[in-house]
Structure 1
Amino acid sequence: MAVGARSGHDEPEERPEQFGRSSSSGPVAEPPSGTGPAGPAGADPTASGGTDEGRTETGAAGTGSADDDGPHAPRQQRSFWKELPLLIGIALLLALLIKTFLVQAFSIPSDSMMNTLQRGDRVLVDKLTPWFGSEPERGEVVVFHDPGGWLEGEPTPDPNPVQKFLSFIGLMPSAEEKDLIKRVIAVGGDTVGCKKGGKVVVNGKELNETAYIHPGSTPCDDEPFGPIKVPEGRIWVMGDNRQNSLDSRYHQELPGSGTVANDQVVGRAVVVAWPVTRWSTLPVPDTFDQPGLTAAAASSAVARMAGPGALGLAAALPIVLWRRKRRDG
């Protein structure tokens, strides 16, 4: 096939350059004997009126049409099957990073948080904000590591290798880690307590817990407690299904007196992600926003700051007076 046909130009099938002839109109004589294909001796093959043969050779060098095989021809795409391992590797790396620093899925193994959470629910836990110094707040549902002795005697499932791998990269909840999920009722500096037949009281304010505790449950009739002062850097947690939750109330004999250290908290549960029929967010109930609830904790924090400040002022005063006396003298 002629080059012109390959290039898409409408030209006669028989072109002069095919035979090394001039492209000018009219009859073309055969070159004299001995002159060679370039014409008479001494003729410049690149001069005006020369053949198109040079252009066809240039096209073969890679500057012609896109159909020619040359340096500028389109690169052949890699096979999908060759790229698949790379795509899988990138996906697994991203999943591992997300699980480690951003969000992790957890499975609910018991009924201690009904009806907010039911057995078999999958929740997504925010692990990012603790990296920026955020601490648990009242009313949040949090996942935390066993502080020590809370899950003593509980059987630990033995997952198969596939389950271990999927849980390692965050695509499946871990079955080996001994984690718990409860609601934060009080934080460091708070005073919390509950008498039989009464309500949970935080910093002198009663909590209206009807929005989240299990219907038919009482605030603490099965295990009254307090009042207890929660140490700084720790939280007091309780399950929403109060009569079926071994929470802070039942571990006061352990180190921490039933409280959980903030650095043991994995993160806050923010969404019920599975099953889809149970999809919902986990906001902080309004009762934890009532006026005055944080007043006592705030005043105690000011007192803690004022104590060292007063001691520092008392220590610095003699030095300041001595410097002034020396300067004036």
Structure 2
Amino acid sequence: MTEPRGADEGQGDEPASKTETADRQDAAAKESSKKDGGSFWRELPILILVALVLSFVIQTFIARVYLIPSESMQPTLHGCPGCTGDRILVEKVSYRFSDPRPGDVLVFRGTGPWAEDYVSTRSENVVVRGLQEIGSAVGIVPPDENDLVKRVIAVGGQTVECCDDDGSVLVDGRPVEEPYVVSDFPYTPGQIDCDTDVRSGRCFGPVRIPEDHIWMMGDNRNQSKDSRWYVGDESDGAVPVENVVGKARWIILPPARWGSISAPEIQEPVASRE
């Protein structure tokens, strides 16, 4: 009698043991899930902070995306007032180890006379302005500076002017081949050139570029407010090299415009030819 009763008790205990084990497993799974969820929310602020720091480092020292707002660099870079122009990637590393060369397309800060028409994009509200500055540091908001994009035509020590008999820009007396220029002011020897009563809009100079400066011009010559516009100021329109932000490398948007930005070597600096 004892053995059967014992057997019956054993048979009754086994299902209870399995149930308790399943309950413990379910409880453990729920607890683990709670811990995982809690861990994610605890780590999220750290992940966001790391992402912001990385964005700041990349935007400040490595590369930044800029929007082309005008048509001054057509057809190389597309843009126009009120429309969505090309977005270009400007890398900031190259010029830490080398100097800008004629033919490069680059972004620079327009200071002095270059900034005479610039209007700040920052809010007058202190709090909003502070948030804008923080957003700018991590690349969410455009920087509050007069950033311009043009092509280098001449560098410090060179002399630039226009025009020769064919209407070409001269650097150190040699005509510059500029395949990227499609639109320019009219120039016809004897009818409208640099010696006629009504001079061609191409004509300027000669200008000797100060050391550590560069002469910048837009590819769309009759729609570009560039170094020619500021001849007569303290540096005769040349831009200090220290104002250079970086080299324009790629068009990244819109997708139909993806590609590298042409930067042919249009003229060797004087020092490299000697």
- On whether the aligned pair clears a TM of 0.5, the verdict is yes
Superposition deviation, residue 164 in structure 1? 4.5
**Cross-structure match for 1:280:** 259
Q: Does residue 1:222 correspond to 2:201, yes or no?
A: yes
Q: Does residue 1:212 correspond to 2:180, yes or no?
A: yes
**Cross-structure match for 2:14:** none
| In 1, Cα distance between equivalents of 2:108 and 2:227 | 13
**Cross-structure match for 1:94:** 54
> Is contact 1:200-1:219 (8 Å) kept?
no
| In 1, Cα distance between equivalents of 2:51 and 2:170 | 48
Structure 1 unmatched runs, 5+ = 1-12, 15-65, 303-329
> Is contact 1:185-1:236 (8 Å) kept?
yes
* Aligned pair partner of 2:268 in 265, 290, 294: 294
Once the two structures are superposed, residues 86-131 of structure 1 have per-residue CA deviations (whole angstroms, 9 ceiling, x without a partner) of 1111101100000111001222221111111122222111112233
Superposition deviation, residue 189 in structure 1? 1.8
Q: Does residue 1:259 correspond to 2:238, yes or no?
A: yes
Superposition deviation, residue 202 in structure 1? 1.8
The 5-angstrom pairing of residues 157-172 of structure 1 reads: 157-158=121-122, 164-172=133-141
The 5-angstrom pairing of residues 40-189 of structure 1 reads: 77=36, 78-119=38-79, 120-132=85-97, 134-158=98-122, 164-174=133-143, 176-189=144-157
The 5-angstrom pairing of residues 1-40 of structure 1 reads: none
| In 1, Cα distance between equivalents of 2:109 and 2:269 | 30
Kindly, what percent of the aligned residue pairs are identical?
41
**Cross-structure match for 2:225:** 246
Superposition deviation, residue 248 in structure 1? 0.7
Structure-2-length-normalised TM-score: 0.72
C-alpha root-mean-square deviation of aligned residues, in Å?
Answer: 3.1
Cα gap change, 1:92 to 1:247, in 2 (>3 Å): same
Structure 2 unmatched runs, 5+ = 1-8, 11-24, 80-84, 188-199
| In 2, Cα distance between equivalents of 1:123 and 1:94 | 20
Cα gap change, 1:278 to 1:154, in 2 (>3 Å): same
Q: Does residue 1:198 correspond to 2:167, yes or no?
A: yes
Aligned residues: 227
| In 2, Cα distance between equivalents of 1:168 and 1:126 | 16
Superposition deviation, residue 163 in structure 1? 5.2
> Is contact 1:194-1:219 (8 Å) kept?
no
| In 1, Cα distance between equivalents of 2:110 and 2:207 | 21
**3-state DSSP class of the match of 1:150?**
helix
Cα gap change, 1:295 to 1:148, in 2 (>3 Å): closer
Structure-1-length-normalised TM-score: 0.61
> Is contact 2:155-2:269 (8 Å) kept?
no
Once the two structures are superposed, residues 145-185 of structure 1 have per-residue CA deviations (whole angstroms, 9 ceiling, x without a partner) of 113111313433346666554322124432x2111111000
Structure 2 residue identity aligned to 1:254: D
> Is contact 2:214-2:238 (8 Å) kept?
yes
| In 2, Cα distance between equivalents of 1:152 and 1:178 | 10
Cα gap change, 1:225 to 1:240, in 2 (>3 Å): same
Q: Give structure 1 regions of 4+ aligned residues with deviation exceeding 6 angstroms.
A: none
| In 2, Cα distance between equivalents of 1:242 and 1:137 | 20
Cα gap change, 1:216 to 1:130, in 2 (>3 Å): closer
